[in-house]
Every structure is written in structure tokens, then in C-alpha cells.
Chain A
Amino acid sequence: MKILTQLFNQARSHFAEGGLFCRLHPLFAATENFFFAPSARTMNAPFVRDPLDVKRFMSTVIIALVPVLAVSLYCFGLRVLAMIAVSYAVGGMVEVLFAIVRKEEINEGFLVTGLLFPLILPPGLPLWMVGVGVAFGVLVGKELFGGTGRNLFNPALVGRVFLGIAYPVAMSGNWLIPGSWPYGRIFQYASSTTVDAVTTATPLGLAKQGQFAGTFDLFVGLVPGSVGETSAAAILLGGILLLLTRVASWRIVVATLGSFLALETLLFYVLPTPIPPPQWQLLAGGILFGTFFMATDPVTSPATGPAKWAYGIIIGVTVGMIRHLTGYVEGVMFAILLGNIVAPILDEITISLRLRRLRNEK
């Protein structure tokens, strides 16, 4: 540790203004502050600060993703790691490049985006597509809007939409069948060329044809699907952690899942064609993963309480409607992006109502 401190102290002058590598200062600062807590002191009241910072905030999300990662590694094999590595490498490069050009700090938010992105892709997707997708997502979804904190859309979802439109076949046909007991695919590198591993149908796709997967399989995650969204149990584990640590807003989660379940229950009794029951719908597809990890992203969701309720309801209802009333099999991605679009308007409405109330305050 002492050696590391000395190393940073020696290197600092080279990265400072006028130094040899002064353009790379964001990279240096990010590395230094990764290892050592920043040295900044408070200058004005309040002289003490809460220990929570954005680094911790983001690492809590990553910790919450660990169960999901573990299950997906078990089900889909080492390929998952390769996808994450590509996502981090390419996305990180875009992030660093923009930080250098803007002369801003490198934001931790990318560590979450870079991990979430491969988790919402089909596990058999070619790796170069993962790279293209994450580059597009970070570039267009985030950096063009001004970087972390200023983006309108969830960058991971922007990347996925791009892939979905650019490579529709690859995005809908590369589902892997999860490995079986006891080792799963944990020692395998299964890809779309692996025989007997590929399928073209997820439980939601099959349900449209009238075949319903077992509810228990959905809960545990022994079904084909996007890398991280198959196991409801693992998602719930991480999701509950996010709610307990207050990183995810409980309002959004309750509103999304509540409105989704209500609509599913209604459709279950109303629709002429038989559809799976609401609890099945909740466990299938990306609704749980999307709700806990994507919809609750604080930057792209509304900031005020009532707007969060409305935002959640819009997402929940949209998912149900896309699933049953359109030709699409799954609608979580579009629903959340729609929520992202309306989030600023919802905020605007609550804020204007609140300002009206504040106007009369003495």
C-alpha cells in the first residue's frame, strides 16, 4: 500500500496540468481514487458528510447483480464472462475517451451499464455484436446527452434496441438452452454453433403458441432467455438488496409490478385466448430484471415521489399490453424506454404542482 501511494505521488506531476500526460488526467484520477479514498476536505458547513458516495452506490448495484451472474454462469457457461469482458472493454473505452475529451472525471455509472448490458442479451449472441451494441448504447444513450446524470434513456436499453433493430435474426434466435444438473454449462463455452444448445424460442414465445413452461422452472431459471433475466429467484435476491439499501426506489418497483399484475389478472379473465396466469407472467421474461435493475436507474427515472408512481404504472401497463395485445413477445425494453421518455414530463408535472403549493408558504 505504501508503495502504491509512493507510485501515485511520483506519477501525479506527469498527469497534472502541463505534464507529459496531462490529457490522460481523468484516467489517472480514476485509478488513484479507485485505490484510495479522495483527499478532499470540506471547506464550508456542513463540515461532516455522509459516507455514501456514487462509487458505493454503484458497487451496491453490482453486488446485487452477483446472484444473477452466478445463475447465468451456471446456465449459459463461460460465454457470459466473455460477453461481460467485451462489454466492459468497449464501453469503458468510449467512456474514457469522452472523459478525456471533456476533461471530466470518469464516472462509475459505466461499471453498472457495462454489466447490465450483456445481461439483457441472448446468451448466444456473437461477441462483436456485444461490442457494437455497448458502444452505441454508451455513445448515443449517454455521452451525447452529456454523460452520467444527464442522459435521458437507459444506455444499456438503447444499445439493446439498436441491436434488436440492426440484427433482428441474431437477437431473436440465439437463445441457449440452460445446462442441466449438476454442472450446468459452468465449464463449457457454449455458443450459437454448439450443437443441441440453441433454441429459437423463449417461454414467452412458446406461450404465444399455447405452450406454457413450468412455473418452478421459471422461478429457478431453467429456461432459455436473456443472460440475466431467466432466474426470478436470483433477481429477487438482488432486487430485495437494492430495496433494502434504498438504491432502488420501492415506489417504482411496487408501482411497476403492482400495475403489471393487476393488468395481467384482468387480461387473464378477459382475453378470449388462454394466457398463462399472472404469477407465471411475472416470472417469465424480463419484467423482474427490468423493474429492479433498469427501471429504477435514478438518472433516467423521475426524481419526485408521485412521478415515480406514475412512471412505474406506465411501465407495468405497457409491458402487459405489448405482451398480449401486439405481435411482440416481450415488451419490457420498450416499456422502460417509454417510461424514460415520459419521466421528465412526469417530473415537470409534480414539480409544477409542488411549486404551486410552495408559492403560498410563508
Chain B
Amino acid sequence: MKLCGGYDIKMAGRPAVEIESPVEPKELFLPRFSCRFRFSELCIGDGQHVRRGQVLARDPGNHGVPLLAPRDGTAHLDLEKEHIVLRGLSANPPEALETPEAPAHISRELGSVGMKRYKLLTLGAWQYMFTAHNGALPDPFGSPQAVLVSTLRLDPFLARGDIQMKTMLSNFTRGLEQLQSLLEYQPIYLVLPKVATAFAEQVREAVRGYAYIKPVQVPLRYPFDHFKILAKALGLSHDDEHPTWALRVGGILAMDRSLTMSLPCDTKVISIGGSGAIAPTHLTVMPGYPIKELLSARIAAGPVRIINGGALTGQAIGPEQLGIDVECAGLTLLSEHVNREFLGFVRPGSDRRSYSRCFLSALRRPMPERMTTAVRGERRPCVACGFCEEVCPVGIMPHLLHKLIYQNDLDAVERARLDLCIACGLCSFVCPSKIALGEEFRQTAETIRQEHQN
């Protein structure tokens, strides 16, 4: 395993290890767009009564991934706000669904494996699958070169794998067996944290018997849970014919649920954490759960920014998004920066945790720091301190890219391999000159993509 860079950001507001279940919602607001999916093909009409597990919409661009109804109710199409609203919900216990017959050519070509994969797709479990090198949804009927199963979640704060495994370890191992039954001979890499806890040992013990599972240990340092970095460290090269599939604990549990129990995967574990959260925790929710209700008792006083995802890679969500989307793995709540500190730069700083050791906190044990949305400094020219290069997990040189982008030399930017950037955000995080490197790279990558198209 060759891993470089990375940094363990410790933030206050870490979600507790319990998984709570919120009360049954009265309405569900299912967003039709999420990070990867666009459920543009509607399968129901306005005012139609739907049953739990029924397909509400599909994403034609992503192998027809379905948006499933998590409850029985009446669907209303709120087209303006891009939501499908379910009202008049009834919380019937889930019942095993009859899987629709797989299209003939799939069962002919892939046999029972094809049937199983089709079942995953229709029951909403395939949505948890990623292509390691670019994060896209892989072809469910394709043939991977290997599968990565990551139990880590290091971006603060997303639903952690170990917490989901703790309550459902047997489901997890069964899910791994199901995963193996989808494959021919390809190895399954199980990525575990390099920690010496009793639970980690228990997990290792649980998978010891499976010859096809190759356990891999990774230090708990952000962003070593990123699939692209893991794939690279394991020597799995990118191959369009045979991509590397990747999924997390939630995906394995969904696999178990859909293949073993034939139930639709309509709930998942998300986390709520950050400096703006009261009693940060993990929750079992269904897609569409109203965000307002979910956060009503959990959001701190004062202005708080709601981020869909982690503090480093997430997206800020405004009031227009009403419900949890299908891909959400956690909500990070950050208090907005309001109070301007008096003579902040001369304070000893025993309460702040920095990548550099310019604060007195370097003398004490690492502690989580309460972070807000403050930029914490003024924008300055690059002083070539080299921190961005040190933390970069893919080995590119952010300071060089910044200079080349400033010169508007896009050819040189490409030669400096901007395409390797995984947008982990660490370079922007550590930059003492407060340069928004990540945002700059994202925009430049977009410009380059457009130029290639023309």
C-alpha cells in the first residue's frame, strides 16, 4: 500500500455511535436530483396512489436506476421544486416483493448472476455502487476487475461504516457472500482501518474464513477512504472494459437486504454532525425525509449552514431542497462565522488545531476543534509554503497548478495532471494564503472539459 499526503482533520461535533430512528414523517419530499442521479423519467401520474417499493421515476442516463417509494401514499408531482411529494403515508411493514422478470437477453447471457444483478438494480441496491476511478455508476451487467469494499468514512461528517456494521455484522458478512455470488473470480478487497480495537478484531475474525476476501488496512487519515486512492494504492489500474467496482458498508447491507430478503432498499443510515448540531448522531432515515423536521430539534441557535455531505466535499443546501436525497450519507451543520475575533493572530491558540504547529495546541494532544464557516484569514498571494503539496493525496502540485491557472496556460495545467485531482479539498483547507484552490481546480477542469468537446 503506497499512500501519500492526507491529514486527519479533527472537528468538534462528531456524531455519536448510536443509530437513532426518527419518528415517522407525515410527508416525504423526494428530490429528483442528487449528486449522480437525475430521475427525469417519471413513472407515475400526479395524485396516483403508490405502494412501498413502487418505482416513482427512473434515471435513463444511469442504467435506469429507480427512485422507489419508501412508503405507501399519494404521490404529488411538485415539478417546480423538482420534488416528488408523498402524502397520506401509511407505515405498512415492508413485504418481500416479487422481482420483475429480467429482460430475456440478460438472463440468457448472464444466467442467475444476471437475474441477481437485475434484482439489485430494481430494488434500489445498485445505487450504492461506484466506479472506483471516477465515482460514476457502473454498468450492473458489466464485468469488474475487482471490487473494493470500504468500511471507512473519513470526511467529517458522514455515516461511519463501523457503526453500521456494529449492529448488523451478520448482515454485513452475508452481504459480502451475496456480493461474491455476483462475481466470477474477481477479488474483493475489504478496506479496514488500521486500528487495534476489539471491534476491528471481531470484523477481521468474521471475514477470516472467506478466501475471496482480501483484507486491506489503511490508516485513519482523510482522504484515504476515497475509492480512487484506494484503487491506485492497490495497483488496480483504470480500465473502461473492466472497471473496479467500489461500495461501502451501506451498499453491502443493501445487497443483503435486496438479495437475501428481497426487500426494497428504502432506508439508510445518515449522520448529523458539526459545530451547528445539537447532540450529533446517526439516524436511520428514508429518502425524502423532510430536512426541516429532521433538524428541528438538532440545529443550534444562530445562523447555521446545512451541508449535504461532509464539510470538505459536501454541497451547501438551501431552503429549496425539502427532503433527504437518495445519495445523502450525512448532513454537516456548520455555525456561520459571526463573531470576529479581537487580535486573533496574536492569541496563543491552545484551542485551535492546525496542520502547521504555529499554535500552542501543538503542545497538547490532538483535540477536536469547533469550526465554523470562517475563512480564518485574508486572501494573500501564494507564499510557496508547500503545505498543499504535502497534504495532496494524489501527488500533484496544487501550488504549481495555481500558478499555471493564473497564467491561463491550460495546456500546461493538463500536463501538470489536473485530471488526477480528486477534489478532496485538503489543499484549500491548509492554504495559509486562503486561496480557494479546490474551487479554482473545479472550474478549470470544467473549462478544459468544454474545450475538449468543441
Contact check: which of B133, B316, B376, B415 meets A49 at CB < 8 Å? B376
| Residue of A whose beta carbon sits closest to that of B232 | A362
- For B304-327 the 0/1 string (1 means CB < 8 A from A) is 010100011111100000000000
* Contact in complex: B375, A47 (CB < 8 Å): no
Asked, given contacts A41-B375, A60-B358, A245-B357, whether A46 binds B385 with beta carbons under 8 Å apart, the answer is no
Partner of B334, one of A47, A107, A148, A355: A47
For the complex formed, measure the closest distance between the CB of A82 and the CB atoms of chain B, giving whole angstroms: 24
B436 contacts A48, C-beta separation under 8 Å: no
Chain A residue numbers with a CB within 8 Å of B133 are 362
Given contacts A52-B430, A53-B345, A299-B384, contact A362 B238 (CB under 8 A): yes
Known contacts A45-B314, A304-B397: A52-B429 contact under CB 8 Å: no
Task: Please tell me which one of the listed residues A46, A53, A246 contacts residue B311 in the complex, with CB atoms under 8 A apart.
Answer: A46
If A57-B432, A244-B362 touch, does A51 touch B349 (CB 8 Å cutoff)?
yes
State whether A47 and B395 are in contact (beta carbons under 8 Å apart), knowing that A40-B375, A246-B356, A299-B383 are contacts in the complex: no
B-chain residues with CB within 8 Å of residue A355 when the two chains form the complex: 415-417
Contact A42 B375 (CB under 8 A): yes
Instruction: Tell me the bound Cα distance from A35 to B337 in angstroms.
Output: 17
Is A281 engaged at the interface, CB distance under 8 Å to the other chain? Answer: no
User: Which residues of chain A are within 8 angstroms of B124 by Cβ–Cβ distance?
Assistant: none
Contacts of B420 in A (CB 8 A): 358, 361
How far does the alpha carbon of A38 sit from the alpha carbon of B204 in the complex, in Å? 48
Contact between chains at B358 and A47 (CB < 8 Å): no
Quick check: A46 and B312 within 8 Å, CB to CB? yes
- Please state if A52 and B358 are interface contacts (CB–CB under 8 Å): yes
Q: For the complex, would chain A's binding face be called helix, strand, loop or mixed by DSSP majority?
A: loop
Q: Is B80 an interface residue (CB 8 A)?
A: no
How many chain-A residues does the 8 Å CB contact rule pick out? 55
Of B380, B423, B442, which is within 8 A of A54 by CB? Answer: B380
* Chain A CB within 8 A of B373 CB: yes
A50 proximity list for chain B (CB < 8 A): 354-356, 376, 429-432
Q: Distance (Å) between the CB of B419 and the closest chain A CB?
A: 9
Given contacts A355-B416, A362-B238, contact A149 B337 (CB under 8 A): no
Q: Judging by beta carbons under 8 Å apart, are B341 and A148 in contact? A: no
Residues in B lying within 8 Å of A, measured CB to CB = 9, 11, 133, 232, 237-238, 305, 307, 311-316, 332, 334, 336-337, 340-346, 349, 352-359, 362, 369, 371-386, 389, 395-397, 399-400, 415-417, 420, 423, 425-426, 428-434, 436, 438-439, 442
Pick 10 A–B contacts, CB within 8 A, sort by A: A36-B344, A37-B376, A40-B375, A49-B377, A50-B355, A50-B430, A59-B346, A150-B381, A301-B384, A304-B389
Leading 3 A-B pairs by shortest Cβ distance: A53-B377, A149-B381, A46-B425
Q: Other CB < 8 Å A-B pairs besides A46-B428, A48-B371, A48-B373, 6 of them? A: A40-B375, A45-B313, A53-B377, A53-B433, A304-B389, A361-B420
